[in-house]
Structure 1
Amino acid sequence: MSIKDKSALYASYMPFLENGGVFIPSEQAFELGEEVFMLVNLVDDNQKIPLSGKVVWITPKGAQNNKTAGVGVQFNSLDRGSTKDKIEKLLAGALSSDRKNHTM
């Protein structure tokens, strides 16, 4: 997964989850609680961050208000909040915005 700019990161980030998480646009079928592994590139960083987590949110294809289909993945506690911290530094000041995102 590659998140290329701050606007896309804001739309995908799920700060309300313990340890943080991201929404991944996908039409692939997932189950709540399913463990997933992903490699994530964050905004102009060439380093791929290996992350594991679990599916905690599902937006099905054809959801109300034309929401993007996909899943929300909560970061694993083994990450110790480092990815959450990195994302929140990149989004400094934007987290209190009322702009729409993929989940809420």
Structure 2
Amino acid sequence: MSEAPKAAPKMLSLRLESKPIIYASYMSFVEYGGVFLPTNDTFQMGEQVMLMLELIGASDPKKFLLPTTVCWINSNPSAAGRPKGIGLAFGSDEQGIKAKNEFEAILSGLLNNERATYTM
């Protein structure tokens, strides 16, 4: 008996254009970093997603094509202003590490403050 072929991961794109949005979207508590993506689509924890990420908040805009994994789900918008969407964990691959480093360079000095984000 042969197994059914695996479906290709969903492809999503996210463009973050300002430092406040980059801060609210970044998931520093994830081992290799991650990002929150507002969406009304339905996802499962552990689902694979290919992400085209654009970071415009830096002096030199960056683009990354990242294999990610769903690690967080906001199933409904919250009273605290957290939108519906998913958190995507970066991997330990070269692109994931580069994306994590770019987020942390943009957010230097801001990562340990108590301002709310889209996930915490």
TM-score normalised per structure 1: 0.91
How high is the sequence identity, in percent, across the aligned residues? 35
Question: Is 1:88 matched with 2:95?
Answer: no
Q: Which residue of the other structure, out of 72, 90, 97, is the alignment partner of 1:75?
A: 90
RMSD: 1.5
TM-score by length of 2: 0.80
Show the counterpart of 2:8. none
Runs of 5+ consecutive residues of structure 1 not aligned to the other structure: none
* Residues 16-31 of structure 1: pairs in structure 2 closer than 5 A: 16-31=29-44
Instruction: Give the letter for the 1:4 counterpart.
Output: E
Segments of structure 2 that go 5 or more residues without pairing to the other structure are 1-13
Q: Does 1:100 align with 2:116?
A: yes
Q: 4+ residue runs of structure 1 moved beyond 6 angstroms? A: none
**1:56 maps to what in 2?**
71
- After TM superposition, give the deviation of residue 47 of structure 1 in Å: 4.0
1:40 corresponds to: 53
Q: Which has the higher contact order (CA 8 A, sep 6+)?
A: 1
CA distance in 1, matches of 2:61, 2:102: 14
Paired with 2:62 and 2:98, the residues of 1 have a C-alpha distance of 14
Q: Which has the larger radius of gyration?
A: 2
Query: How far has the Cα of 1:64 moved from its partner?
Result: 4.9
Distance 1:47 1:16 in 2: 22
- State the alpha-carbon separation in 1 of the partners of residues 89 and 107 from structure 2: 18
Q: Partner amino acid for 1:8?
A: I
Cα distance in 1 for partners of 2:15, 2:113 equals 23
How many residues in Structure 1 have an aligned counterpart in Structure 2? 104
